[in-house]
Amino acid sequence: MSDTTRILTGIPASPGIVVGRARVVSDFGDLQAAFRLLYTDQERQAEVRRFQEAVEQAQADLTRLRDRVAAEFPEHTHLLELHLLILKDQMLHDEPLRLIREENLNAEWALHRAYERVRELFSRIEDPYIRGRIQDVESVYRRLMGILIGQSPRRLLPTGDKVILVARDLSPAETTQMAGSGVVGFITERGGRTSHTAILAQSFEIPAVVGVDNAIREIAPGEELILDGLSGRVILHPDQEVLERYRRRQAEFAAFREEVTTNAAEPATTPDGFATRVMANIELPEEVHLVGRYGADGVGLYRTEFLFLRLKHLPSEEELFDDYRKVVAALAPRLVTIRTLDIGGDKFLHRTDYVPEMNPALGLRAIRFCLKERDIFRRQLRAILRASAYGRVRVMFPLISSVQEVREAKSLIEEVKAELRREGLPFDEEMPVGAMIEVPAAVTLCQMLAPEVNFFSIGTNDLIQYALAIDRGNKQVAAMYQPLHPAVLRMVLQVVTAAGVSGVPVAMCGEMAGDPLHLPILLGLGVSELSMNPLAIPVIKRVIRSITLAEAQAMASRVLEMVSVEEINDYANHFLKERFPEIYRFGSALAGL
């Protein structure tokens, strides 16, 4: 590596390696809102008109873009429809109008104030996946602000030459325009692995690195660089030796991806006949196409929070039903596992009767909130049951910590079933009911919980945090978040053993399930169903088809004798490296880990 070669690091958001020239767009985020007070009715009326005209222009721009995208990528139009909804959201539309009329603020500052309020509300959300949705709100905010200050529209993506786009941030709308353009990869200063921009990049197979500090200052326009979407590295001024090394790696990864995804739809059965089910985690009906594309056997986790968060009103039963029915009908006869609402009352942006909690992770959320707000819960259960008439559905309750919670939830289901019978509405009388095992209390009680449900699903993200008392968002202790910690493995074994006594199957739907490093141990412990990011499915299926259950059980037995997480990690890494060298090199990156 030459003296002039420099390396920037960020978050690998979409796997792949590309070499190209940088196209730096430094003006993407510099939208300054000017403050001005209004003194007369005439001024206020003029500002209201100006704001409404900006909304109308943004709406027209987004509608045109949506229609254009629909022709080639219909599965991605939902993101633009989401932006159209945000455009008319109470917090980003009604609130600025109120601030103009009642607090005499000019349109730009009113919009800025409203957006800051939304951002503050999102910052309190515990779930990083949902918290990351603020990027969609920000994208709409910037579009509106750009129109108000006369800097929009302007983001024309390059065509023709192969370039790597470098920007402070990119909206999903802009990312949809990359397919077929001259952009072969992109680097942003903002964003995360689960942002819609990252998800789109994965879908279009455009390599991307996000969260690169000062990228637009560090990278010069036209500069040759290497974007490594596997490791999150950006290499500036690469010499010939480095270029050749990365081009070899690029070719090897492309061959690996082709080989792994070719047979993704085939069953995931070990060579000695142990059949497993590899499922997908999804959030939106529009993600259904990923289930088929990556060979999922169904949906092991359908998150249902987004509809509650994106609407400015509580979703009606019909809105929920329509959402669930689309997914269930599209995937029939594959199984769809719907998780009931897993947020707290303070996350309902349109409601003010729930104040922010000091520690929301331990507060009124998930099943606790649902059992308190029974009208909301009943509405969702009715929608889920009605959707069950269109395919195979099972429902599961998050954050269960007692038998009583399961019984109360099941009792409500029976009440709802009776209502639907009286109304003559069809549903699956035998719809399976499951409990998520994600707090230590549920692990301790799993022998008592098992007879109450049809299945368990271990939510490892929460279980690891609660079991090890680790906040992954706290940089001081984030490194202590260790899925292969001996305590975590013993908890998994305890759940599988207790469930086995009652004949209850055990699934796993946290990030741990989609990591090829963990897979052999989980199989050996007896987990037979895994649900994950769809990208991870081909990799996980490949490992399952290559390892015998006996081999996995021997591995699990050995790690259960180990007392430190370091020892277990070393052992698991050594096994993967020796047994699956290509997956060790590329598997985690392709799986989006």
Query: Which DSSP category does 91 fall into?
Result: I
Query: Which DSSP category does 219 fall into?
Result: S
Q: Residue 116 — φ and ψ, nearest 5°? A: -60, -35
Contacts of 245 (CB under 8 A, 6+ apart): none
Closest by Cα among 343, 337, 265 to 529: 337
Residue 446 designated active-site:
no
**Strands of the 6-9 sheet, one edge to the other:** 6-9, 233-236, 224-228, 17-25, 163-167, 183-188, 208-210, 11-14
The answer to whether 201 and 186 have CB atoms below 8 angstroms apart is: yes
Q: Residue 512 — φ and ψ, nearest 5°? A: -55, -35
How many angstroms separate the CA atoms of 249 and 207, rounded?
A: 14
Looking up tokens 């559905």 gives: 393
Residue 196 designated active-site:
yes
Q: Token pair for residue 369?
A: 């909130």
Query: Letter for the amino acid at 149?
Result: I
The active-site residue, picked from 76, 83, 370, 509, is 509
The active-site residue, picked from 76, 112, 196, 485, is 196
Can you name the residues that pair with 226 across neighbouring β-strands? Answer: 19, 235
How many angstroms separate the CA atoms of 136 and 313, rounded?
A: 18
Contacts of 40 (CB under 8 A, 6+ apart): none
The answer to whether 565 and 485 have CB atoms below 8 angstroms apart is: yes
Catalytic positions, written as ranges: 196, 509
